Amino acid sequence: MTPARIVVVPGKGVVPADTPILTADDLGVLRGDGIFETMHVRGGRPWLLDEHLDRMARSAARMGLALPPRAELVDLAEQACAEWPPGVEGALRLVCTRGPESGATGQDPRPGGAAPVTLFATLSPVGQASIEARRVGLAVVTATLGFAAGARTDAPWLLGGVKSLSYAVNMASQRWAAEQGADDVLWVSSDGYALEAPTATLVWLSGGTLCTVPAGTTGILPGTTARWLLDHADRLGWTAAERMVTPAELARVDGAWLVSSVRGVAAIRTLDGAALAADPERTARITALLGY
Ligand code: PLP
């Protein structure tokens, strides 16, 4: 049986899943002003918890957000996992918003302001579409992100590399893909480079080198799954590298995948309608290495 969603609130522990947690003036709701992390729960434990908490701390620092101490976040994660059946894959979310606009000290959402944040965790089953995509792969269409690959590096307000709650553009991109009959989008910079997908990192194999797009110079989200995969690529007999790539070049590589914590690994079967190299055995080896 599919387990019900678990919700954990600091100081209250696990609460009924329909418990109201935010006030109507929470800045996370009003402005998408907050951060989150999503982790894969396997064997009853969050995979790569440290890496996700590191990234969350970096996101908080970049947004001037007073993220509670790491021990509190670990505690929330552990409370959620304690209630979860170990044999079921889960998606654990940690969410931290800037808190209520009208809070006692919450008037000032500027960096360093003393607004009390809103923090909670949820743990839900992994969606069937994600599990299915690992097996059948994805039809992906390219879509412009509207700015050059390097635009975000000197513009910290664009929040490159930050996992903020402002995902409306990401979700709109995926709806647009669905309208084209595709499964997902590959964002492309205005100067023609493939960047990332709205909820996943691009990885490709080229002549024995497993590659991904550099996060530092492009402002894409530094993916924990892709990082772990490239750090262990030697176990599959490959070297690893960060490179820029164009969609036209992807048409000639030895395989391309979208990877993320909850989705795992999904081969890009077609890009803008053209078939990409897709060797199911390679996908299976990557999937096994990542433990999905
Ligand atoms: N890029 C974006 C924009 C994402 O939202 C995500 C995950 O949700 C990823 C990449 C993949 O990151 P991770 O492997 O850490 O889940």
**What is the distance in A from the centroid of ligand 1 to the CA of 103?**
31
Number of the ligand 1 atom closest to the C-alpha atom of 55: 15
For residue 152, the Cα-to-chain-centroid distance in whole angstroms is 18
**What is the distance in A from the centroid of ligand 1 to the CA of 44?**
21
CA distance 217 to 232: 23
Q: Which residue's CA is the nearest one to ligand 1's atom 9?
A: 200
**What is the distance in A from the centroid of ligand 1 to the CA of 261?**
7
Residue 120's pLDDT is: 98
**What is the distance in A from the centroid of ligand 1 to the CA of 216?**
15
Q: How many CA atoms lie within 13 A of 196 on its CB side?
A: 22
Q: Is the dihedral of CA 39, 40, 41, 42 positive or negative?
A: negative
Q: How many CA atoms lie within 13 A of 276 on its CB side?
A: 29
**What is the distance in A from the centroid of ligand 1 to the CA of 10?**
25
Residue 109's pLDDT is: 47
- Of 2, 179, 197, 192, the C-alpha closest to 88 is 2
Q: List the structure tokens of 199.
A: 């909820």
Q: List the structure tokens of 279.
A: 């060797």
Contact 24, 30 (CB under 8 A): no
The per-residue pLDDT string of the chain (292 residues; one tens digit each, 9 = 90 and over) reads 788 899 999 999 999 999 999 999 999 999 999 999 999 999 999 999 999 999 999 999 999 999 999 999 999 999 999 999 999 999 999 999 999 998 644 444 445 545 589 999 999 999 999 999 999 999 999 999 999 999 999 999 999 999 999 999 999 999 999 999 999 999 999 999 999 999 999 999 999 999 999 999 999 999 999 999 999 999 999 999 999 999 999 999 999 999 999 999 999 999 999 999 989 999 999 999 999 9
Number of the ligand 1 atom closest to the C-alpha atom of 39: 16
For residue 167, CA distances in Å to 32, 145, 172, 221 come to 8, 13, 9, 12
Ligand 1 site-directed mutation target among 201, 213, 263, most atoms within 8 Å of CB: 201
The residue type of 106 is G
- Of 203, 243, 250, the C-alpha closest to 223 is 203
Ligand 1 site-directed mutation target among 49, 51, 163, 170, most atoms within 8 Å of CB: 163
Q: Which residue's CA is the nearest one to ligand 1's atom 12?
A: 223
Class at the top of the CATH hierarchy for domain 6-126: alpha beta
Contact 143, 177 (CB under 8 A): yes
**What is the distance in A from the centroid of ligand 1 to the CA of 107?**
31
> Ligand 1 site: residues with CB under 6 angstroms?
38, 196, 198-201, 221, 223-226, 260-261
**What is the distance in A from the centroid of ligand 1 to the CA of 114?**
29
For the chain, what is the HEC assignment? CCCCCEEEECCCEEECCCCCCCCCCEHHHHHCCEEEEEEEEECCEECCHHHHHHHHHHHHHHHCCCCCCHHHHHHHHHHHHHCCCCCCCEEEEEEEECCECCCCCCCCCCCCCCCCCEEEEEEEECCHHHHHHHHHCEEEEEEECCCCCCCCCCCHHHCCCCCECCCHHHHHHHHHHHHCCCCEEEEECCCCCECCECCEEEEEEECCEEEECCCCCCCCCCCHHHHHHHHCHHHHCCEEEECCCCHHHHCCCCCEEEEECCCEEEEEEEECCEECCCCHHHHHHHHHHHCC
Q: How many CA atoms lie within 13 A of 272 on its CB side?
A: 12
Residue 212's pLDDT is: 98
Q: Which residue's CA is the nearest one to ligand 1's atom 2?
A: 199
Q: Which residue's CA is the nearest one to ligand 1's atom 7?
A: 199
Each domain of the chain, given as residue ranges in start order, spans 6-126, 130-290
**What is the distance in A from the centroid of ligand 1 to the CA of 199?**
5
Q: Which residue's CA is the nearest one to ligand 1's atom 5?
A: 199
Residue 105's pLDDT is: 45
For residue 212, the Cα-to-chain-centroid distance in whole angstroms is 15
Number of the ligand 1 atom closest to the C-alpha atom of 263: 16
Residue 107's pLDDT is: 44
Domain 130-290: homologous superfamily in CATH: D-amino Acid Aminotransferase, subunit A, domain 2 (3.20.10.10)
CA distance 25 to 144: 33
Q: Which residue's CA is the nearest one to ligand 1's atom 8?
A: 199
CA distance 196 to 278: 19
